[in-house]
A and B are shown apart, each in its own frame.
Chain A
């Protein structure tokens, strides 16, 4: 599904018509220009590439990226992100045109997925990384935050793959089913309920959530809750 690129600005709270305070993250939308339409004939799969944030120098881009942008007479966008969409959807969008956020995401109250790089935690232990528990700090205990046993002994004589251990994470994560509280066209801002990955100023992508379920319904009812 097609998504949008945005910059995380910070968090605040706003009030709904019941007077309840809703915690929201403010995302400032970037230009979001269609920079490439990938078709089955040409690339073997269908997708749309979105560009944003103009670069100051050509050297900031790779040669294939630069070639494509120059060929289509587009500004030199530093951030390029591809979204897999169906063939019909590729046809709908025009090259070089800015996307309409309301069209891509939907009305206020819809559910979205937000992808971004979380704030850095460096090399972290199993407690911070996997939400495991520590052992006693006192009463003669000599093991506090260590992992304990890594598995069986001579048989099988190795550590099983996927064992949760200390380490460093630097991968994008997606938080799904967040409520789009409001789209403010004047400020080009999205207000999303709850927290979003990344530090302030981080670039995140927002796309409509494809996950459906019973859980959704309550999330959609912001401000429309039954009077107690």
Chain B
């Protein structure tokens, strides 16, 4: 249990319009990137393999295969640097673990997640 005062202090820093993020979801994270004085948005699409933390410290780990190499990035969900998070997959991911670290060992057809239609 966290102290109620911590929750109150964090409240103004939390995003209120976040989609429901579940481990196993396929997500697209839009990150703001500063280049000199210009700002652009870069997308990172992949599989959400882990969530961690609560409040302002909440993070998600997203994994994707980029040119045959597995790449994982950890995003601070409530950070102002994160422009948007979109859930791409439809339905409930059929996973039995809270952390999908076993995906690191799988590739090709085995590295798929089945999604069940939600009632």
Contacts and interface: CB of A to CB of B under 8 A. Distances in A.
A12 interface: yes
Given A9-B6, A10-B6, A12-B55, A19 B13 contact: no
Nearest to A200: B3
Nearest to A188: B5
A23 B34 CA distance: 22
Contacts of A12: 6, 9-10, 55-57
B34 A228 contact: yes
A53 B57 CA distance: 32
Nearest to B2: A10
Interface in A23-38: 26, 28
Contacts of A191: 9
Nearest to B76: A21
A187 B76 contact: no
A13 B57 CA distance: 6
Contacts of A9: 3, 5-6
Residue picked from B9, B32, B37, most chain A C-beta under 10 Å: B9
Contact of A14 (B2, B8, B9, B81): B9
A165 interface: no
B56 A14 contact: yes
A108 B59 CA distance: 28
Contacts of B76: 21
Contacts of A13: 56-57
B8 to A, nearest CB: 6
A200 to B, nearest CB: 8
Given A10-B2, A13-B56, A19-B32, A26 B79 contact: no
B1 to A, nearest CB: 11
Contact of A26 (B6, B80, B81): B6
Nearest to A24: B9
A200 B1 CA distance: 13
B59 to A, nearest CB: 10
Residue picked from B3, B5, B8, B32, most chain A C-beta under 10 Å: B5
Contacts of B6: 9-10, 12, 26
Contact of B80 (A15, A184, A187, A228): A15
Given A15-B79, A21-B76, A21-B79, A26 B56 contact: no
Contacts of A228: 34, 36
Interface string B1-26: 01101101110010000000000000
B16 to A, nearest CB: 15
Contacts of A19: 32, 79-81
B8 A187 contact: yes
Contacts of B57: 12-13
B56 A189 contact: no
A163 interface: no
Nearest to A11: B6
- The 10 lowest CB-CB distance pairs between A and B, nearest first, are A19-B81, A19-B80, A9-B3, A9-B5, A13-B56, A14-B13, A12-B6, A10-B6, A10-B3, A15-B80
Interface of A: 9-10, 12-15, 19, 21, 26, 28, 184, 187, 189, 191, 200, 227-228
